[in-house]
Amino acid sequence: MDRHIEAFLEMLAAERGAARNTLAAYAADLTDAARFAAARGEAAAAMSEAVLRAWLGAIAAAGLSARTAARRLSALRHFHRFLLREGIRADDPTELLDRPRLPQTLPKYLSEAEVDALLAAAAALPPRRAAVMRAALEILYSTGLRVSELLGLPRAALAGDAALLLVRGKGGKDRIVPLSAAARAAAAPLLAGKGRFLFPGRARTQPMTRQGFGLVLKEVALAAGIDPARVSPHVLRHSFASHMLARGADLRSLQLLLGHSDIATTQIYTHVLAERLQLLVEQHHPLARPPGDTRG
């Protein structure tokens, strides 16, 4: 691996607490760009704007999605800002590169009735699995945690009458989220177990894997009569956010609960606000009433 890329990755790990998956993605993207540049006689730390444009063009020609291209461009920008800051180069060739246009997608989420059905299906599992899945679903839906945050919860975090959870999120950033009474009650049977983690894996010293949790969640969805393809931990996070907004929460509070560093990320949920405002207008605006309706 190029020494400048290696130094950049070390900085991400040491100073920003980047997750292993994040580091692996940056390493793969930057190494690919460096190979492309090397074939054209340029070093990783001296890539020109023209070569970077050609690399992004090659990505598009290969049929990779705009989202993949945007992620790779983001890796390049962070890398070149690092080079600029360290004085390794005096310019940033990514400044004039256009970000690929991403399709506007709305977050997928379940209805409140579907969440209730999931909880009921989890409770009907064999006792041990029922206790684990009921607690996991209650905590996910009442807090909006990411699945990695959920599975990494230490048992001690819920010891006593904990009404608040201290959660370590992306980049090692901590935040505090309230825990509902229903979630605390569902988690209570797990507190008597052994080991560090509230949701231990087969090896009690390690948390349950995301893959293992996902498989059981699909099983619960099937039992609830919901297409398993529509259910994932992230869909439950979207459901938490969408339902909170639908019931009157504001975006800034939601940003804090979800652990978003930028409120622009939270704004993907404004579709819920738009639906609520449309309903408000339909119910209360005089021109929205049917002919003959004279209610004042």
- Pairwise CA distance, residues 255 & 227, whole Å: 29
* pLDDT value at residue 279: 64
State the number of CA atoms in the 13 A half-sphere of 31 facing the CB. 11
* pLDDT value at residue 296: 46
Catalytic residue among 196, 210, 234, 276: 234
Cβ neighbours of residue 182 under 8 Å, at least 6 residues apart?
A: 138, 142
> What residues of the chain score a pLDDT lower than 50?
295-296
The yes-or-no answer on residue 269 being catalytic is yes
The yes-or-no answer on residue 129 being catalytic is no
Catalytic residue among 77, 81, 168, 170: 170
* pLDDT value at residue 259: 86
Dump pLDDT digits (tens) for 96-155.
887 777 555 667 888 999 999 999 999 999 999 999 999 999 999 999 999 999 999 998
* pLDDT value at residue 99: 75
Catalytic residue among 80, 134, 237, 243: 237
The yes-or-no answer on residue 146 being catalytic is yes
* pLDDT value at residue 277: 62
The yes-or-no answer on residue 108 being catalytic is no
The yes-or-no answer on residue 234 being catalytic is yes
Domains, in order of start, for the chain: 3-85 (1.10.150), 112-279 (1.10.443.10)
